[in-house]
Structure 1
Amino acid sequence: VLVDYCLHGRSVTSIKNRLNSSPALYFLIKVGVICIIMQLIYDFFLLPDGRLDLFLCESGAFLAAQCLDFVGWSTDSWGRIIAVNGYKGVEIVNGCNGLTLMGIHCGFILAYGGKTKPKLWILFGGIFLIYLANIIRIMGFALINVYLPNHWITFHKFSAFIFLYPVMLGLWYLWTIKSDQDDILSSSRFSLV
């Protein structure tokens, strides 16, 4: 006989039923678990290896410099550093390479549900769009050093709100509309009881 374990007076079956009747809570738990797993993978495998962070930092700085050169600026990039010639350089460190937002984007898309093929398109397409938005952000870092160097710290602090979050939130909105998934807050499936 399988013993039904109790958690604070509720059986496992009761908790499963509660999660099924509250899709918003179930979604939040899935996002949390996915983000924890992704953080553990990053901390124990990707960060010690360093190649993914290095690629995102160096390629972001290089492509931002190339884009600025294309529109008429004279720039240089050396590894993680980008500079408009004659002005201070900007180093792209691991926390500013977009990887964290790519992970958060993946956690949302994986947890929300929907068909596999469209999910993969929005997952990898979203990673690519966040990467491109971060390149534009890096271009902004270099240009702030030219025009408003005294406000560089403020720009850095708020630049994700301007360049990255709108892209990520737009992708999430698109996925909730296109995923053929019932709305997690629909009145037909949601109950506070």
Structure 2
Amino acid sequence: MKSITEYIRSPLTIFFIKVGLIYGGWEVLYQYVLLPDFWLDTWLSHAGVSLAAGSLSFLGWDIESTARFVCVVGNRGIEVQNGCNGLDLLGLYAGFIIAYPGSMNKRLYFLFGGLFFLFLANVFRITTFVLTNYYVPQYIDVYHEYSSFIIFYPIVLTLWYLWTENSDQQSFLSGAGFSSA
């Protein structure tokens, strides 16, 4: 039978401790550094709207946008508020990549590549909000409710899976590194 110290030293326990510390640190950083002046939230919202508007304009739609608002000309617009700019999901994704064991080079690749990909996914989401609001405005509330599940979560879960498969960590969950005695 395993002693309590063997459980505490297990890679899985260490992972959960890291996750707790990372998310606690993220919450403190967000609440006391990022939140008071909203600079990161504001940048993510404005950049997402700007890129979504540019993408739609490039594809031929006549678009109006200012700061957080974007719309097809002559139609009601959408506003990207701080809670809808993807920052919380970016933090969640980054926390897992940082906490899960692996080499630093691969970790940085997955971290920054994944964050960039998720940012682009949010631009796509904003773009689809504008089009949903234009073509089927009666479904905008339903789309707002479920678009994260449709767009973000499959991407995050796939990236996490790829990280666990490519992180050079052989026996993290299997317990192969522990004796059975």
Residue 7 of structure 2 is aligned to residue 18 of structure 1: yes
Aligned ranges for residues 99-118 of structure 1 at < 5 Å? Answer: 99-118=87-106
Q: Is this contact kept in 2: 1:184–1:190, CA < 8 A? A: no
> CA separation in 1, counterparts of 2:155 and 2:133?
24
TM-score w.r.t. structure 2 length? 0.92
1:100-179 correspondence to structure 2 within 5 Å: 100-179=88-167
Q: Distance in 1 between matches of 2:87 and 2:62?
A: 28
**5+ residue gaps, structure 2:** none
Runs of 4+ residues over 2 Å off in structure 1:
14-17, 23-26
Tell me if the contact between 1:62 and 1:79 (Cα under 8 Å) persists in the aligned partners: yes
Q: TM-score by structure 1 length?
A: 0.86
Q: Distance in 1 between matches of 2:18 and 2:24?
A: 10
Q: Provide the aligned C-alpha RMSD in A.
A: 1.9
Q: Does 2:49 correspond to 1:29?
A: no
Deviation at 1:49, TM superposition (A): 2.2
| Residue identity opposite 2:19 in structure 1 | V
Q: Percent identical across equivalent pairs?
A: 46
1:113 shift after superposition: 1.1
Distance 1:24 1:74, change over 3 A: same
Counterpart among 31, 38, 47 of residue 50 in structure 1: 38
